[in-house]
Structure formats: C-alpha cells, structure tokens
Amino acid sequence: DGGITQSPKYLFRKEGQNVTLSCEQNLNHDAMYWYRQDPGQGLRLIYYSQIVNDFQKGDIAEGYSVSREKKESFPLTVTSAQKNPTAFYLCATRGGQGPNQPQHFGDGTRLSIL
C-alpha cells in the first residue's frame, strides 16, 4: 500500500516535555514537509526537506526540530520551547522539484497539552 503514514493519530504532551511526531513514506519522494494547522486556519510551513540530510526552516520553525537521515522518514520534534503546541500537524511529500508538482499528505497527528 503506497502512501504516507503519520503516527500517532493523537498525542498528549506534558508541560516541559519534548515529543516526536513520526512521518514515514513509501512513495520514493525526495521532498518532505511539515505543517501546522490551527482550527479554522490554513497550513503553516514548519520545516521542509528537498533531499536526504538537508532541510530548511519554514515560516514558523521556532520551537521545532527535524531530521532527515533516511529518504523514507522525516520526524518532527516539538520541543518545550514551543509554548503553544496544541494543533493539527500534517506531513506531506512531493515527487519532484518543479512548482507544478503537487503535494501528497498524511492524515495528521493531533497534539494536545495535558
């Protein structure tokens, strides 16, 4: 089954704790993305990676970190420095570099503060 798997579907974080959201893909896509979506709002780009071992900050990278050690995987860590982490987190991939290439999304992880 080809696609993008995000886990867990729901995640709870205690104050001062770091948590890691998983994103795995078997589409063989080079580019991967992380977005944050708040209720009633659009997607805001956190980090993106166009190739293994390289990634760039998006528009709201503060309080987050990523790694891209394998093509298939792009985990996102929400650190304790992110003071308002409650949101819906979406991972996406893209098969090519051109602006005409669409993104493919996972079904998201909903993160809440305990």
Partner 1 sequence: SQKIEQNSEALNIQEGKTATLTCNYTNYSPAYLQWYRQDPGRGPVFLLLIRENEKEKRKERLKVTFDTTLKQSLFHITASQPADSATYLCADMGHNTNAGKSTFGDGTTLTVKP
Q: Which of 11, 22, 27, 50 touches partner 1 (CB under 8 A)?
A: 50
For position 71 contacting partner 1 by CB under 8 A, the verdict is no
Cα(15)–Cα(51) distance, rounded to whole angstroms? 33
Cα(101)–Cα(110) distance, rounded to whole angstroms? 27
Nearer to partner 1, 41 or 53 (CB): 41
Cβ-contact 91, 32 below 8 angstroms? yes
Structure tokens at 66: 């990523």
Nearer to partner 1, 68 or 94 (CB): 94
Nearer to partner 1, 58 or 85 (CB): 58
For position 13 contacting partner 1 by CB under 8 A, the verdict is no
State the amino acid at position 75 in one-letter form: P
State the amino acid at position 8 in one-letter form: P
Residues at the interface with partner 1 (CB under 8 A): 4, 31, 33, 35, 40-45, 48, 50, 56, 58, 88, 90, 92, 94, 97-108
